[in-house]
């Protein structure tokens, strides 16, 4: 059974006239008759019946027709999808990111990309997770690009470009003695109970490096998995923490205090898998930001204010 035979069968089913069908298919009538006959023989049933000069579908042909039409329609959809995927101005991108960039960096990222009208038909599927999980999904192909800090262990298959610097703050409950301060030093938090984040995250590595550089050994009270949980524990007066400033902080009765002197920051990068076949849409996305960074110096200390 060939695709050509199925196309001929559908055309013949629609016309029920060999001459007309052959003309529409731009083939000879004997070629059409032979092809339909071969298909019937392969299936072991007659697909058409002839009553004098009248041709009609047999009961087998009627049963077979909707399946053939459905199969051909799916193939056409598949072909159209490939055409779309080859078009750099359309397609889908699977984008993953860490939770703390959900509120400003991601909207900024997408808004800037859509500023160029030719990109408006490229669509995004989003996933939120911790850095290590995002890296795993990037490497196995479930994600096309991610926005996250550098992974703990470098991977030769991942290429990265810096996108912005995210400031980290000391977060305390509102009536904590430090809450009235305009800025704090690392030494101010040496004797405090601390809410830590999962050791598998970049944020843990950042805070751990800060403590080590100042010979501090915090009293870890609880370990949680994400920023909202950190804020909730702080709001319940179970300790203090270091984290990015996220909009939901206002819901937890906490205060975010910057560090004195140079801001405490971490760099967030765009990462992609160099071993994965890159779609035209993904290539357009990455080239947009590569050129923006080079030309405009897009390297932000605040997501909304490029410097």
- Is 189 within 8 Å of 239 (Cβ atoms)? no
* CATH code, 40: 1.10.10.10
pTM, 2 dp: 0.66
Q: Does 46 share its domain with 59? A: yes
Q: Does 62 share its domain with 32? A: yes
Distance CA 183, CA 196 (A): 21
Q: Does 148 share its domain with 279? A: yes
Range 59-77 burial, b when 16+ CB lie within 10 A, else e: ebbeebbeebeeeeeeeee
pLDDT digits (tens, 9 = 90+) for 207-266: 999 999 999 988 999 999 888 899 999 999 999 999 998 888 888 999 999 999 888 999
| Contacts (Cβ under 8 Å, ≥6 apart) of 32 | 8, 12, 18, 21, 22, 25
Q: Give phi and psi for 150, each to the nearest 5.
A: -65, 140
Domain that holds residue 28: 3-86
Q: Does 253 share its domain with 175? A: yes
Q: Does 190 share its domain with 67? A: no
* CATH code, 153: 3.40.190.10
> Residue 76 domain-assigned?
yes
Q: Tell me the pLDDT band of 154, cut-offs 50, 70 and 90.
A: confident
Q: Does 175 share its domain with 247? A: yes
Look at 83-97, 217-231, 278-292 and tell me which has the smallest mean pLDDT: 83-97
Q: Does 255 share its domain with 173? A: yes
pLDDT digits (tens, 9 = 90+) for 36-80: 999 999 999 999 998 888 899 999 999 999 999 999 989 988 887
**So what's the pLDDT on residue 295?**
40
- The per-residue pLDDT of the chain, averaged, comes to 87
Domain end (from 86, 112, 144):
86
> Residue 290 domain-assigned?
yes
Instruction: Calculate the CA 153 to chain-centre distance.
Output: 22
Distance CA 237, CA 239 (A): 6
Q: Give phi and psi for 218, each to the nearest 5.
A: -70, 150
**So what's the pLDDT on residue 117?**
65
* CATH code, 254: 3.40.190.290
- Mean pLDDT value of segment 277-306: 64
**So what's the pLDDT on residue 184?**
94
What's the total number of domains in the chain? 3
Give me the half-sphere count of Cα atoms (radius 13 Å) on the Cβ side of residue 190.
9
Q: Does 197 share its domain with 223? A: yes
Q: Does 224 share its domain with 236? A: yes
Domain end (from 33, 67, 86):
86
Q: CB count, 10 Å around CB of 207?
A: 23
pLDDT digits (tens, 9 = 90+) for 108-135: 888 888 887 678 888 999 999 888 899 9
- Mean pLDDT value of segment 95-99: 93
**So what's the pLDDT on residue 143?**
94
């Amino acid at each position: 059974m060939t695709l050509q035979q199925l196309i001929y069968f559908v055309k013949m089913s629609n016309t029920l006239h060999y001459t007309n069908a052959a003309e529409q298919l731009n083939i000879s009538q004997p070629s059409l008759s032979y092809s339909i006959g071969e298909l019937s023989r392969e299936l072991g049933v007659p697909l058409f019946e002839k009553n004098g000069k009248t041709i009609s579908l047999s009961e087998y042909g009627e049963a077979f027709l909707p399946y053939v039409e459905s199969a051909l329609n799916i193939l056409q959809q598949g072909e159209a999808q490939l055409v779309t995927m080859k078009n750099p101005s359309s397609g889908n991108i699977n984008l993953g990111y860490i939770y703390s960039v959900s509120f400003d960096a991601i909207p900024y990222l997408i808004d800037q990309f859509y500023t160029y009208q030719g990109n408006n038909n490229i669509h995004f599927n989003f996933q939120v997770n911790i850095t290590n999980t995002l890296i795993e999904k990037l490497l196995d192909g479930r994600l096309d690009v991610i926005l996250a800090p550098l992974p703990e262990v470098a991977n030769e298959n991942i290429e990265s470009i810096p996108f912005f610097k995210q400031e980290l703050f000391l977060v305390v409950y509102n009536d904590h003695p430090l809450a009235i301060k305009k800025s704090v030093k690392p030494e101010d938090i040496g004797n405090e109970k601390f809410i830590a984040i999962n050791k598998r995250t970049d944020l843990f590595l950042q805070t751990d490096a800060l403590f080590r550089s100042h010979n501090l050994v915090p009293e870890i009270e609880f370990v949680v998995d994400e920023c909202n949980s950190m804020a909730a524990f702080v709001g319940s007066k179970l300790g203090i923490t270091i984290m990015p400033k996220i909009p939901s902080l206002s819901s937890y009765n906490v205060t975010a205090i910057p560090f004195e002197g140079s801001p405490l920051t971490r760099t967030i990068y765009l990462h992609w898998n160099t071993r994965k076949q890159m779609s035209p849409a993904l290539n357009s996305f990455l080239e947009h930001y590569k050129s923006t960074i080079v030309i405009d110096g897009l390297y932000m200390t605040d997501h909304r204010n490029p410097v």
